[in-house]
Amino acid sequence: MTDPGKLELSVVWNGETVRDATIKSTRPRADRILKGRTPEEAAKLVPMLFSLCGKAQGEAATAAMTVAQGGEPTQLPDRAVSCEAMQEHLWRLLLDWTALLGLPQQQAIFARWHTALNTLAAGAGDAKALSEDLHQTLTGMTHTAWAQLDSHAALLEWSKAGHGLCAPMIAALDAQESAREQDGGDLCELLAEKSAAETWRIGQFDAAFAAQPHYDGKPMETGALARWQHEPLLRDILQQRKSRLLARLVARLHDLLDSVEKLAREETAQRIQWFATETNSGLALVHTARGVLMHHARVERGYVAEYCIVAPTEWNFHPRGAWRAGLMNLRARDAAHVREAAQCLVLSLDPCVEYTLEVHHA
């Protein structure tokens, strides 16, 4: 596996408020690695380039290059990609968010469910039993009851009852967000869910776009919140908690529960799409746990002539993107508070690489 690079994050705080936040990415360019290879070689190499979301990356590459060669992707393993996304959600919910919020980590439960999802991804296992287990353990209710929570107030009432592992997590994050002090500032718009054909029209899909993707010149936020932003519960949370920390966590939980329920009902999660952009060129989209992943390939004379990967991390950690916008003008009593807020925001946006964080006093 090649060096996946990292994010170098820096926050400038003047003793009262955050005045600036900068991002430097050292992630490698896929076009330099894949260009000149055969489509078969490139498809095998892509999953090896990424430590996370390997299935999603691999299927995006296969679909993009199949379409670029005039083919039609068949039997794409949407099930395996969906299981991978659920594993990522569980990792963040049961291990990372619990640790950041000072709650007990749930390593044993995570390991059990991770194994069960591997079995389901392989076409075996009991999806219905897993769905019931996930719903009862995480929320203390059925899928139908969870779906009926349609407001921030209803969510808080449920969390105060303490049913399910996610209740104290949501209560703690809501309390933290309600105490957050921030002066104005515009957050990034949420990237609306689009078809592969519509997505093709938003950018040039070259190295510059891959490094700093945008929509009509504006950085956007992708992820579970962007995908489920129109759900009544999430619409209300966005009204009540403007900084989106709680909304992102609840959207992650919603995406997890929706995905496992679809598996139980033997419905497709529709996480993979593709589009023949032009002669010898194809675009594939995969909805991962972190947001929409885009692969564009052009194949000429049996070799990859152009390749572009636009990952969710590049949207959310754009130099003018969601992470920076979420910190600007944040009022903080000390540098430790600034660091805690910055780390919480990083986790809510969930980069797919390691990061370093520095807080500077202006």
Q: What pLDDT tens digit does each residue of the chain (362 aa) get?
A: 566 779 999 999 999 999 999 999 988 777 788 999 999 999 889 888 876 788 999 999 999 999 999 998 875 668 999 999 999 999 999 999 999 999 999 999 999 999 999 999 999 999 999 999 999 999 999 999 999 999 999 999 999 998 999 999 999 999 999 888 776 667 899 999 899 999 998 878 998 999 999 998 999 999 999 999 999 999 999 999 989 999 999 999 999 999 999 999 998 778 899 999 888 999 999 999 999 999 999 999 999 999 999 999 999 999 999 999 999 999 998 999 999 999 999 999 999 889 999 999 97
The pTM score is 0.94
**β-strand pairing of 281-287 with 303-310:** unpaired
Q: Is-contact 99 279, C-beta < 8 A?
A: no
Q: Is-contact 56 293, C-beta < 8 A?
A: yes
Q: How many helices (H) and strands (E) does the chain have?
A: 18, 9
Domains and CATH numbers, the chain: 6-361 (1.10.645.10)
Residue 43 and residue 7: Cα distance in Å, rounded? Answer: 26
Residue 274 and residue 287: Cα distance in Å, rounded? Answer: 12
